[in-house]
């Protein structure tokens, strides 16, 4: 069974240089894509630019990258355009709970 690491475990891995935690977003792109400024739209060129940046950042991070993003950021098409051989696995919060034995 897969158990996802807790924040404490991630911190320990960072301390022994087994993983890095990096920002996924570009501050300017994130601000430009702010739905509040876009009449609560979740599509358009600002969103596309932000998600393309996220995808490039993930692909360039190394052989394994994990991103935690909101439900509106499905980056599969953007990642496939850059890296057709990359695998994208989407895990919903309910699945994380199930994998960690929550709610049994």
pLDDT confidence bin for 2, thresholds 50/70/90? very low
User: Exposed e or buried b for every residue in 63-96, given b needs 16+ CB within 10 A?
Assistant: eeeeeeeeeebebeebbeeeeeeeeeeeeeeeee
pTM for the model stands at 0.71
pLDDT tens digits for range 18-57: 677 778 889 999 999 998 888 888 888 999 999 999 999 9
Q: How far is CA 78 from the centre of its chain?
A: 12
Cα-based torsion angle of the residue sequence 27, 95, 12, 23 in order, rounded to the nearest 10 degrees: -10
């Amino acid at each position: 069974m897969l158990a996802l690491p807790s924040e404490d475990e991630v911190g320990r891995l960072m301390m022994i240089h087994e993983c890095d935690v990096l920002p996924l977003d570009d501050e300017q792109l994130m601000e430009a894509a702010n739905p509040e400024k876009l009449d609560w739209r979740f599509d358009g060129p600002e969103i596309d630019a932000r998600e393309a940046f996220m995808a490039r950042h993930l692909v360039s991070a190394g052989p394994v990258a994990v991103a935690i993003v909101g439900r509106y950021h499905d980056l599969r098409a953007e990642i496939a355009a850059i890296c057709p051989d990359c695998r994208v696995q989407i895990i919903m919060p309910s699945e994380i709970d199930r994998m960690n034995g929550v709610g049994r």
